[in-house]
Chains A and B, each alone.
Chain A
Amino acid sequence: MKKTKSATLERKKEIITALEDFGLNLYEQMEKGVFPSIKMPSRSIENIHYSSDLRQYVLGERAVRRSARNIRHIRPFTQLVWAAYFAHELAKHRKTSTLRDVYYSAQAYNMSFKDQPESNNIITDLETVSGFAREDFNVFPEERSAIFGDLTIEYTVPGYEGKQLNLTSHPDGVMIGPALTSAEFAKTGADKVIAIEKGGLFTRFVEEQVHKKFNALLVLTAGQAPRATRHFIHRLNKELNLPVSIFTDGDPWGMHIAMVIISGSANAAHLRGLATPDAKWSGVWASDIVEYKLPSDPLTDIDVKRLYELQKDPRYEGKLWQKEAKKFLKIRKKAEQEAFSRYGLTYIVDEYLPAKLEAFEKS
């Protein structure tokens, strides 16, 4: 595991260099007496394609040019340069920030953004020109999810360098925040990862010792998984070779939470390392609702509409996805993860989970 350690530090260095090069390029253009400009891949919808090789969305060939010569570009251009400068400061001083924080920090440089979306968009521009995710620049989202299980990590954040922590040390789980995201993996006894959509079930699993019984790391996605969490799952899968299974509510929205962890989203087509193509959606499936006779609710019109959309989505080409989408539409029912409580509090852990994990191993 020594290898990963240097990899994290290496990456930090790469990022700093990339930002400095970006600045130098602009500097030299101005020295030559020309208006600085940059070229970057276009993020317009026409330029987002699904790559079946990479099993995620990617950006196509199209590029856009931003020039300080253009009156409509100069403001976002300046904001982008500032964002690069700000990210460089964060990296240099090993500080972290959030999107909200970036929005406010700009004001200190007399660089006010009109609103949060504008500043978020500039950060995405920075991701696109540099090819690094904002988490790499130490800019983290507000929402936070958690992890629990037998994994020992080693911090790299200032003041904690070299300190280790076992992620079973707190029963609520450990928050997947900046410190954990940048930590290195020291050792683990787990042989799988179970991602869970809802906090209630996550707590139940901890109480029921699922991590021990199934030798698993439990990750709470808390609804749609934040990018830091998706990146973290990606690392668990890639760096530790752990298979990942995902449990969500049995409805189109739960389905899609699993899908974004697996194949990523179109919004992040310019980035790599957020998707985990080998992860599996393990339930709750439409067929589970029938098989386990789960208490259910009828699908709403919006649910149905969403299902039709998903059926056409290139990420949903796989057999399982098509089958389950069809099944939802057939039975016109949906069920939450908590529906298993009908058979007693431990049923989901004693009966359902083993069956599902067994099926997963076989697949």
Chain B
Amino acid sequence: MFKRFLGAHPENDKRKTKSNHSIYHVVSRGDGWAVVQSFEQISAADFFYRNRDLAGFTNPTRAIFSSLRELVENSLDAADQSGIPSDVYIRLSYDHERVVKEADEVKSKDENLFDNDVNSSEPKVYRLRVADNGSGVPARHIPSAFGQVLFGSKYKLKQARGTFGLGGTMALLYGQITTHKPAFVVSSTGGARIYMYKLVVDIQRNRPIIMDRKLLLNKEGWRGTIVEFSLEGDYAKAMSRILEYLKQTALVNPYANITFIDPKGRLYRFSRVTTKMPPPPKETKPHPYGIDVETIQRLIRITPCRNMIDFMRNHFHRVGEKTAHNFLESAGIGKTRTPKRLSQEGIVRLVKMMKRFRAFLPPDASCLSPIGEELLKAGILKELKPEFIAICQRQPSTYSGHPFIVEAAIAYGGEIQGKNDIVLYRFANRIPLLYDEASDVSWRIIKRINWRRYKVTTGMPIAILVHICSTKVPYKTVGKEFIADRPEVKREILNGIREAARQLQHFLTKREHVEKERRRLSTFSKYLPKIARFSTELAGKEKAPNIKKLLSSVRKYEEN
């Protein structure tokens, strides 16, 4: 026991002494002197500033990719929110101001300074601007939304791309620490005014510092948000990922227009093929299976309910009068008890019983917004241009009380290239996941499937798509790059892929059949006339025998 304690001792674990959480200790040294370590507390912004790897800001390549995607995802969320198909405009350019300044400093006479080759790879300073037609941010929230981490509007139980209240602010924070320049945010919710903020993040305090603020009259009734800031990055290296990201984003958001102008002035446009959007998700209450003590305590604090029946009915997902009665009875909790009077032990017991009770209805999927067969098909057709698409949308399911839906698709042929390894496109809440593919649960599932059973062989032109949507996607990191191995999720993905694979197999078998039949018929119509011709010559006849009937009989025979 003692030994183990020593093992966790900060002095014996260098990693821990380095981190600035609240590890403190008085260390006795051999000479009798005691050194008192200092304690400190850091803000959330400071934490993510120090641990930006966690959020996907590892290096200049990754950082430019992550900044762009975080802002794009916020824009797409904002449009979904307003129920209007997104228009996202992205511009990435060299930060000229910065270049000029530096050029002045070194008095460089190099005339080609602006003709920087994007292909020469080294971190440079860029300016990123993302504009959308989304809901806009209410004026009073603009500074915090963009200048404070762990602040957001998406902590609700309803599917959205954003979850942590972190992404957009991290991008701005990264820009700030690499260029020391403030960010600009312009937004309007469609009211009379447009608000313009120039701000920086106070990292130590996790608070926005407003450097400038302007009001403009919104004569045209514009609604949306524009974010612009400078950051260091390596576009040459990140380019292929960024383009891949945009393409895949366009694939799962076929109702979005996405425009991207890169630093060389190249225009990439991903146009919408439909204005239809997946039905918007509804906010839900927590499901009893996903509940914990803390959540109950918060609910009790705010509840107006006077008895347990009402409490259960009003605050939990899919708990009605009858279920509430049954539950309280089986848990041995008084139906008429006042929730606010529950003791600490009583709350712990309540949570335990909730997890144990088998008769709660499973969460419904109204808080989810899967892409749907039609839109997924449209997206795949538009971006991958395959010959055949198989889609399987699974029934809603849950893990730890969180509802989720898996959609799997397999695209085959057409413009899809045959690769030695299977091409996998992963999506979560309509976000493409590009990094750490091998760690993703889908990847492992695909590797374990016996593809030959479905007539799929190596080198075949196929792409597999897996989309999971949930109120809580089981990401392994806040960087949103890969999905963890939850058995329930795994099962759904596996079944989804299998179902799509079966459809593909049918298609391949049928095509093989058709092809075989075509070859068969062409063989007959190639050779029979020759037999007729040579026999006629040998027999010394004038007229060839009539073989039309024979030829049509081959066809008829095969059709039934």
Q: Are A20 and B538 in contact (CB under 8 A)?
A: yes
Q: Report whether A22 and B538 are in contact in the complex, using a CB–CB cutoff of 8 Å.
A: yes
Q: Which of A24, A109, A111 contacts B538 (CB 8 A)?
A: A24
A33-B549, A81-B535, A84-B534 as given contacts; A27 in contact with B541, CB under 8 Å = yes
Q: Cβ of A75 and Cβ of B527 under 8 Å apart? A: yes
Q: List 24 A-B contacts (CB under 8 A).
A: A20-B540, A22-B538, A23-B534, A23-B535, A23-B536, A24-B535, A24-B538, A27-B532, A27-B538, A30-B531, A31-B546, A35-B550, A36-B535, A71-B520, A71-B524, A74-B528, A74-B531, A75-B527, A78-B527, A81-B535, A81-B538, A82-B534, A85-B537, A109-B530
B539 within 8 A of A: yes
A85 to B536, CA, bound (A): 10
Interface 0/1 of A60-88, CB less than 8 Å to B: 00000000100100110110011011001
Decide yes or no: A30 and B527 within 8 Å by CB, A20-B540, A71-B520 being known contacts.
no
- CA gap between A31 and B531 in the complex, in Å: 12
Nearest-Cβ distance from residue A66 to partner chain B, whole angstroms: 11
B contact residues around A147 at 8 Å (CB): none
- B531-560 contacts to A (CB < 8 Å): 531-532, 534-541, 545-547, 549-550
Chain B residues whose CB sits within 8 angstroms of the CB of A24 once the complex forms = 535, 538-539
Asked if B523 is an interface residue, CB under 8 A from chain A, the answer is: yes
**Is A19 at the interface (CB under 8 A from chain B)?**
yes
A35 to B545, CA, bound (A): 11
Question: Beyond A30-B547, A31-B545, A33-B550, is A19–B527 a contact (Cβ under 8 Å)?
Answer: no
A residues near B539, Cβ cutoff 8 Å: 20, 23-24, 26-27
- In the complex formed, the residue of B with least CB distance to A20 is B538
Which residues of B are in contact with A by a Cβ distance under 8 Å? 520, 523-524, 527-528, 530-532, 534-541, 545-547, 549-550
The residue that B534 contacts in the complex, of A34, A74, A75, A81, with Cβ under 8 A, is A81
Contacts of A75 in B (CB 8 A): 523, 527
Q: Which residue of B lies closest to A111 (CB)?
A: B530
Q: For chain A, which range describes its interface: under 10, 10 to 19, 20 to 34, or 35 or more residues?
A: 20 to 34
- Are B550 and A82 touching (Cβ within 8 A)? no
**Ranked 6 nearest A-B pairs via Cβ:** A23-B538, A30-B545, A24-B539, A85-B534, A26-B535, A78-B527
Verify A74–B545 contact, CB threshold 8 A. Answer: no
* Given known A85-B537, A88-B538, contact A78–B550 (CB-CB < 8 A): no
Given A20-B540, A23-B539, A71-B520, A30-B532 contact (CB < 8 Å): yes
A78 to B540, CA, bound (A): 18
Q: Is the CB of B537 within 8 A of A23?
A: yes
CB nearest to A81 among chain B residues: B534
State in angstroms the CA–CA spacing of A20 and B523 once bound together. Answer: 26
B554 closest partner in A (C-beta): A69
Q: How far is the CA of A27 from the CA of B520 in the complex (A)?
A: 23
User: Are B538 and A84 in contact (CB-based, < 8 A)?
Assistant: yes
CB distance from A84 to the nearest CB of B (A): 6
Q: Of B524, B538, B541, B547, which is within 8 A of A85 by CB? A: B538
Chain B residue nearest to A77 (CB atoms) is: B531
A81 interface neighbour in B523, B530, B550, Cβ under 8 Å: B530
Smallest CB separation, B512 vs chain A (Å): 15
Q: Which chain A residues numbered 25 to 73 have a C-beta less than 8 Å away from chain B?
A: 26-27, 30-31, 33-36, 68, 71
Contacts of A84 in B (CB 8 A): 534, 538
CB distance from B371 to the nearest CB of A (A): 45
**Which residues on B sit within 8 Å (CB–CB) of A26?**
531, 535, 538-539
Task: State the CA gap A34–B532 with chains docked (Å).
Answer: 12
Q: How far is the CA of A81 from the CA of B546 in the complex (A)?
A: 17
What is the bound-complex CA distance between A16 and B550, given in angstroms? 29
Q: Name B524's closest neighbour in chain A (CB-CB).
A: A74
Residues of A within 8 A of B537 (CB): 23, 85, 88
- Cα A27 to Cα B538 in complex, Å, equals 9
B538 touches A68 (CB 8 A): no
A19 to B523, CA, bound (A): 25
- When chains A and B are docked, how far (Å) is the Cα of A141 from the Cα of B163? 84
Instruction: Knowing A33-B549, A33-B550 are in contact, say whether A27-B536 is a contact too (CB < 8 A).
Output: yes
A148 to B539, CA, bound (A): 42
Chain B residue with Cβ nearest A35:
B550
Cβ contacts under 8 Å, B520 to chain A:
71
How many Å lie between the Cα of A77 and that of B526 in the bound state?
Answer: 12
Instruction: Tell me, rounded to whole Å, the shortest Cβ–Cβ distance linking B522 to chain A.
Output: 11
User: With A and B bound together, what is the CA distance between A276 and B435 in angstroms?
Assistant: 82
- Nearest residue in A to B549 (C-beta to C-beta)? A33
Residues 74-106 of A at the B interface (beta carbon under 8 Å): 74-75, 77-78, 81-82, 84-85, 88
**Least CB distance, A29 to chain B, in whole angstroms:** 8
For residue B158, give the distance in angstroms from its CB to the closest CB of chain A: 60
Complexed CA–CA distance, A85 and B539 (Å): 10
Nearest Cβ on chain B to A172's Cβ, whole angstroms:
41
Taking CB atoms, residues of chain B closer than 8 Å to A27 are: 532, 535-536, 538-539, 541, 545
